[in-house]
Amino acid sequence: MGGSSTTEDDWELASINDAITLVLVGKLGYGKSATGNSIVGRNVFESSSDMSGVTCTCQMESTVLSDGRKVNVIDTPGLFDWSVGSKEIGKEIIKCVKLAKDGIHAVILVFSIRSRFSEGEETILERLQMFFGESIVDYMVLVFTGGDDLDEERKTFQEYLSKAPEPVKTIIKTCKNRVVLFNNRTKDQNEKDDQVQMLMFYVNRVMANNGGKPFSDEIFSEIKLEARKLHDEEKVIDNMRGQSAEQIAAMKEVIYKSYNDQLTRITEMVMQKLNDTIERLEKELAKERAARLKSNDEIHKLKESLEKAHKGTAESDDKIHKLNERLEEKTAESHDKIRKLKEKLEKAQKESAELKAKGNCAIL
């Protein structure tokens, strides 16, 4: 596979059939850049095992598959890592959209089997849906990095997934089981090719399910409209006759300023949308935590009631046991008295019989 680097300023109003555009999304340090390198077949995205060399801004690289199709891969920083602030996220989303041009054919959501699944991962799908709309999941393929760890542990990917936390299983189910394991450290070319082929198998399925149409929303439409407008105005100026170079430069400066002003407006719109998304998500999380605390409190009260009931039952059982013991003692005493009375009666009857016998003898 060969390839080339593409910048955001290289705007060609191309047909969606010209290339397949993939966007890598996921938490910082999960191996997005290494996965991008595996897909394009070259070390073009900066990748590091520590946090010092991770992607700081959106970057797009291209490659050509063995079947002749061109694939654009966009590596992103933590687009939905709220800790970096909505302003920076907004700028990167705009840059990502500009790089994607006509839309995104598949969103590659990257996880790492080396990391514990946290609340951030649980909500990333929700964040994407809140921002881009529910239909974004129809374009998603999941990639789990760290395949070499499973090799060392002699575990299969299916064994790992079967024991994954429930939120992971829910995300996989939501994405229709479109999930691929990547070993970004392998030196085996066959393994490299196989994992890319498996990824493209799911990308092709996503494209087929969506009728070949890439994902696009209001942001894409706005930026594309402004880019087309700039492109058309540039052509008009370039075709003008009787204008000096200074006049043409001045006119172009005006349309560039207008274009940049529109991009600023769109960026502010994205930031507002991000802030709204964050606010909605925080409210939902607060509501969920409150419900969880209430549930935990109810569970605690139920446990206390159950312990009291057990304690009461134990006390009741102890009383019943003591009553049974007393009853058994009284019954034993009663039986002993009856036995003694029977013995006395039998003795009296015997003595009476003996006296009677002696009396009869005396008479004779």
For the chain, give the mean pLDDT. 78
- Considering only residues 233 and 9, tell me which one the structure prediction assigns the higher pLDDT: 233
pLDDT digits (tens, 9 = 90+) for 259-311: 777 777 777 776 676 667 667 767 777 777 788 788 777 777 777 777 777 77
> What average pLDDT does range 17-42 have in this prediction?
88
Of 3-17, 170-184, 335-349, where does the model show the most confidence?
170-184
**Looking at the chain, which runs of residues are DSSP E strands?**
3-6, 20-26, 59-64, 70-75, 106-112, 140-145, 179-182
pLDDT digits (tens, 9 = 90+) for 208-246: 999 988 887 767 677 777 777 777 888 888 888 878 888
pLDDT digits (tens, 9 = 90+) for 117-146: 766 666 778 778 877 888 889 999 999 998
Query: Which CATH class, in words, describes the domain spanning 3-214?
Result: alpha beta
Of 88-102, 173-187, 270-284, 345-359, where does the model show the most confidence?
173-187
- pLDDT at residue 83 tops 60: no
pLDDT of residue 86: 60
pLDDT of residue 110: 93
- pLDDT at residue 40 tops 90: yes
- Say if strands 3-6 and 59-64 run parallel, antiparallel, or are unpaired: antiparallel
Task: Quote the longest CA-to-CA distance of the chain.
Answer: 177
d(CA 249, CA 337): 128
What is the number of other CB atoms lying within 10 angstroms of the CB of residue 239?
7
Domain boundaries, the chain: 3-214
**pTM (2 decimals)?**
0.65
* Axis-axis angle for helices 32-40, 189-209 (nearest 10): 100
pLDDT of residue 54: 56
